[in-house]
Amino acid sequence: MQLEAKVLTVSDSVHQGVVEDRSGSALAECLEAAGFEVTGRLVAPDGVEAVAGALRELAGDFTGLVVTTGGTGFSPTDLTPEATREVVERLAPGLAEAMRLVNPLGRLSRGIAGTVGNCLVVNTPGSVSGAVECLEAILDVVPHALALLAGQHPHPHGSPGPPSHGPPSHGPPSHDPQPHDPPPT
């Protein structure tokens, strides 16, 4: 499966041509170094409607990864997570949590991750280092996620998967006395 990605930069100043799109370029370089073909890049101004429209354009009929950069903080114009929620069908909170854990400032990111059809969308911060750190935190599992979204089954029935912790329980858990349990009275 060819890994494909698209990058959406969310920034009024980049959209207006006032500053260079450094974080979008850094994400594209990071993706290419990881074996992804970057097939599209867009810039959108801040705001729910503009970002949601750009995400719909990038994610429509696309099997791959869409990475946003910018608009994930606490500024009144930082609305990328709200726009992403309007577009994604299912959230992927583990990815967003992993991205937040890479740096103490990650706790200030409101970015989310989720799926739209066969597309995985992840929000990263607008800083170059923050965007790249967050992306690198999840790149190891993205190919597996994309294969599952594309309908491939990387773990066919009967193959080794995650370890099982025994058969599912049907009813209340039993309590076998342990050495530290007091004797029954």
Predicted confidence at residue 129, as pLDDT, reads 97
Residue pair 118/112 in contact (Cβ under 8 Å)? The answer is: no
d(CA 54, CA 2): 23
Predicted confidence at residue 154, as pLDDT, reads 64
**Domain assignment present for 154:** no
**Domain assignment present for 55:** yes
Give the residue numbers spanning the domain of 84.
4-9+46-149
Question: Which residues in the chain show pLDDT less than 50?
Answer: 158-159, 161-183
Predicted confidence at residue 153, as pLDDT, reads 75
Number of folded domains in the chain? 1
**Domain assignment present for 120:** yes
* pLDDT tens figures, 90-126: 999 999 999 999 999 999 999 999 999 999 999 999 9
**Domain assignment present for 74:** yes
**Domain assignment present for 25:** no
**Domain assignment present for 175:** no
Q: Which DSSP string do the residues of 124-179 spell out, in sequence order?
A: E-SSHHHHHHHHHHHTTTHHHHHHHHTT--SS-TTS--SPP-SSPP-SSPP----T
**Any idea what the CATH number is for the domain that residue 123 is in?**
3.40.980.10
Predicted confidence at residue 175, as pLDDT, reads 44
